[in-house]
């Protein structure tokens, strides 16, 4: 037996209700929405799978598919401005929901537990032309440069070289199950985002967090160790001195050396899943929309979709990273 569209939507609704009951954010939500947050999340996820990113086109699709209104529980089609406004404001809720699912799903099985985590960053190319750094620093937009995303920034990828766009910062466990997410412009450093996520990371009570060299700081290693959390990185530029030698002897021991070796298989393939879910697998993972508020929601919805797929796969006894059922259900 394979999961259906209704199974995925039911899980989104169920887990969102659990999130609102458990979250301190409930008291800040104010008056109830005409269109509930959970149905908005399901709708926008549905649109992403159908590769419909323009709000006018989404509005027209709803007009042409009254059966979708029944699924979503809506009595009338939201205005295009409502869809745009709600989409751009959804990121904080999605970020919290991903964190909630990361914590609450640990009890569902070994594949979803948190004993030790992996951290990494992936770049996504901005929609439209690039803004050369000299022009960007001068605040100058060349006359013939049309449809430029001025929120995006530059960063270098090991796979694609220099990329003008945005960055997805992911925390996952050893099986690739997402636990935390943040979306920033490309130039925001990995180490800076790791510092922002520190308290949320510690709340997951991990034994260790494994990352690449961009996340290494000797002071961070010592401070985290004092809190009972091991930061594992190759630390290739930290070789001299007795503390550096002691650290390298430590990470060469079992199981820490095994955890470091698993870094590429634990987290990097998950970014490929996101690209397939989001439809950004080609052209350096170019995004279909612009500006940071929209990009944040877009990428975070992709992380949530993979999270939902893995929870359902776990319940149905399917391979955890198999997303073909999810793609079929929402297509």
Q: Please determine, for residue 184, whether its predicted confidence score (pLDDT) is greater than 80.
A: yes
User: Under 8 Å CB-to-CB from 182, ≥6 apart: which residues?
Assistant: 95, 168, 169, 193, 196, 197
Cis bond before residue 127 (omega within 30° of 0): no
**pLDDT tens-digit series, residues 215-229:** 999 999 999 999 999
pTM of the model: 0.94
Please state the rounded mean pLDDT for residues 114-130. Answer: 93
Share of the chain above pLDDT 70, in %: 97
Interior angle at CA 10, CA 9 and CA 13, nearest 5? 85
pLDDT of residue 24: 58
List all residues 6 or more positions away from 38 whose beta carbon is below 8 Å from its beta carbon: 12, 13, 16, 17
User: In this structure, what token pair is assigned to residue 152?
Assistant: 């995006």
Share of the chain above pLDDT 90, in %: 82
Q: pLDDT tens across 10-46, in order?
A: 999 999 999 998 875 454 555 567 789 999 999 999 9
Report the pLDDT value the prediction gives residue 283, as an integer from 0 to 100.
76
Q: How many CB atoms lie within 10 A of CB 66?
A: 10
* pLDDT for residue 109: 86
Closest CA to 86 of 67, 64, 58, 61: 58
Phi-psi region of 120 (alpha: psi -120 to 50; beta: other; left: phi over 0): beta
What is the model's pLDDT at position 27? 46
> Residue 102: its pLDDT value, please?
92
**Position 175 confidence tier, pLDDT thresholds 50, 70, 90:** very high
Instruction: State CA 228 to chain mean position distance.
Output: 26
Confidence check: pLDDT of 264 > 80: yes
Decide if pLDDT at 66 tops 60: yes
Cross-strand bridge partners of residue 125: 165, 286
Kindly list the distances between the CA atom of residue 234 and the CA atoms of 197, 210, 239, in Å, as whole numbers in the listed order. Answer: 21, 9, 10
Which neighbouring-strand residues pair with 165? 125, 153
Mean predicted confidence (pLDDT) in 102-123: 90
CB-based contacts of 176, cutoff 8 Å, min separation 6? 266, 267, 269, 270, 273, 310, 320, 321
Rounded to whole angstroms, what are the CA distances from 115 to 175, 229, 232, 266, 317?
A: 11, 11, 14, 14, 22
Task: Please classify residue 208 by burial: count the beta carbons closer than 10 Å to its beta carbon, then call 0-12 exposed, 13-18 middle and 19+ buried.
Answer: middle
Residue 99: other Cβ atoms inside 10 A: 21
Phi, psi for 169 (deg, rounded to 5): -105, 115
205 secondary structure, DSSP code: -
Question: pLDDT per residue over 135-173, tens digit each?
Answer: 898 889 988 888 999 999 999 887 778 999 999 999 999
Q: What angle do CA 11, 45, 102 make, to 5 degrees?
A: 50
Mean pLDDT computed over every residue of the chain: 92
CA 298, CA 87: separation in Å to the nearest integer?
9
Q: Cα–Cα distance between 184 and 25 in angstroms, integer?
A: 22
Q: Which letter does DSSP use for residue 36 in this model?
A: -
State the average pLDDT over residues 236-259: 94
What is the C-alpha separation between 16 and 28, in angstroms, rounded? 16
User: How confident is the model at residue 30, as a pLDDT?
Assistant: 52
Question: Could you tell me the end-to-end alpha-carbon distance of the chain, in angstroms, rounded to an integer?
Answer: 19
Q: Quick one: pLDDT at residue 31?
A: 54
pLDDT of residue 110: 84
74 has a pLDDT exceeding 60: yes
Q: 238: Cβ–Cβ under 8 A, 6 or more apart, which residues?
A: 216, 218, 244, 247
Domains in the chain (CATH in brackets) are 5-98+288-330 (no CATH), 116-140+147-273 (3.30.420)
Question: What's the pLDDT at 28?
Answer: 53
**Strands annotated E in the chain:** 116-125, 153-157, 161-173, 178-185, 208-210, 230-232
């Amino acid at each position: 037996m394979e999961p259906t569209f209704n199974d995925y939507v039911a899980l989104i609704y169920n887990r969102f209700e659990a999130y609102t009951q458990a979250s301190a954010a409930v008291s800040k939500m104010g008056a109830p929405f005409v269109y509930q947050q959970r149905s908005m999340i399901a709708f926008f996820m549905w649109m992403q799978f159908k590769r419909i990113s323009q709000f006018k086109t989404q509005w027209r699709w709803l007009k042409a598919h009254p059966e979708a209104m029944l699924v979503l529980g809506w009595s009338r089609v939201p205005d295009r401005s409502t869809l745009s406004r709600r989409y751009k404001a959804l990121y904080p809720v999605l970020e919290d929901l991903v964190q909630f699912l990361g914590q609450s799903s640990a009890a569902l099985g070994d594949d979803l537990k948190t004993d030790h985590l992996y951290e990494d960053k992936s770049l996504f190319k901005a929609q439209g032309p690039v803004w050369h750094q000299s022009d960007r620093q001068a605040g100058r937009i060349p006359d013939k440069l049309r449809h430029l995303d001025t929120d995006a920034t530059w960063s270098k990828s090991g796979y694609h070289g220099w990329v003008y766009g945005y960055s997805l910062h992911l925390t996952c466990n050893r099986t690739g199950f997402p636990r935390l997410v943040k979306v920033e412009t490309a130039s925001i450093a990995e180490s800076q985002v790791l510092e922002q996520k520190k308290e949320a990371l510690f709340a997951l009570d991990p034994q260790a967090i494994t990352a690449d060299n961009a996340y290494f700081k000797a002071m961070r290693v010592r401070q985290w160790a004092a809190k009972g959390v091991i930061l594992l990185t190759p630390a290739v530029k930290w070789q001299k001195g007795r503390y550096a030698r002691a650290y390298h002897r430590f990470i060469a021991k079992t199981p820490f050396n095994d955890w470091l070796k698993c870094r590429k298989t634990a987290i990097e393939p998950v970014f490929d899943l996101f690209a397939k879910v989001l439809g950004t697998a080609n052209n350096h993972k170019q995004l279909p929309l612009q500006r940071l508020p929209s990009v944040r929601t877009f990428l975070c919805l992709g992380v949530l979709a993979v999270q939902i797929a893995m929870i359902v796969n776990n319940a149905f006894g399917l391979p955890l990273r198999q997303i073909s059922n999810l793609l079929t259900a929402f297509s």
